[in-house]
Amino acid sequence: MANQVTNIFLAGVGGQGTLLASEVLSEALMLAGHDVKKSEIHGMSQRGGSVTSHVRFGPKVYSPIIPEGEADILFGFELLETYRYLPWLKKGGKIIANDLKIIPAPVAMGQAEYLGDIPERLCAAVPGAKIVNGMELARQAGNLRTVNIALVGALSKELDIPEETWQQAMRNQVPERFLAENLKAFELGRQFKSPLT
């Protein structure tokens, strides 16, 4: 990995804190000495629409966009969004996904069905996929709004960055009044073991 660009594709729904997660991730990577490029696509994020973020890092990164089929890690904040973006994951890539369903409008209106068994489908597509109960970890941390940082904690185990660097990144990005609960959520995510792996 030392001489190449590593690609992390984040996929979620508006309001989940996907963008803060990408900020913390990018900050930690920069503090660890990497060149980092980030790109975000918000879609109808204000209304619960799709939100994606591309984070690329390495000795030198020239483009912020991850080509389809080139993501090393698919980092999903919602199950259907994670499954939708499977084509972006390269062969041998990894998945870290939040075990959460957010019903999209067409499903709520009875115009479509929500795909069943997505965790099993993800694990079948990518053996060793890590399915994280982010909501439960956030509950344990004392604030349900820390789900995104609990998920970053789970992701952190896949990257060679010291824990102190992650903590510094959170101090730089998270408002002081929310820092303690986010640090706790991060640690819970870092310790999480997926029941499906």
How distant is the alpha carbon of residue 152 from its chain centre?
6
Domain 6-191, second-level architecture: 3-Layer(aba) Sandwich (3.40)
139-173 burial: b if 16+ Cβ within 10 Å, else e? bebeeebbbbbbbbbbbbeebebeeebbbebbeeb
- 76-133 pLDDT, tens digit each: 999 999 999 999 999 999 999 999 998 877 777 888 888 889 999 999 999 999 999 9
Residue 132 · residue 189 · CB < 8 Å? yes
The CA-atom distances, in angstroms, between 16 and each of 4, 53, 164 are 30, 13, 25
Residue 196 · residue 123 · CB < 8 Å? yes
Question: How much is the pTM?
Answer: 0.92
- 5-55 pLDDT, tens digit each: 999 999 999 889 898 999 999 999 999 999 999 998 766 545 567 889 999
- 122-146 pLDDT, tens digit each: 999 999 999 999 999 999 999 999 9
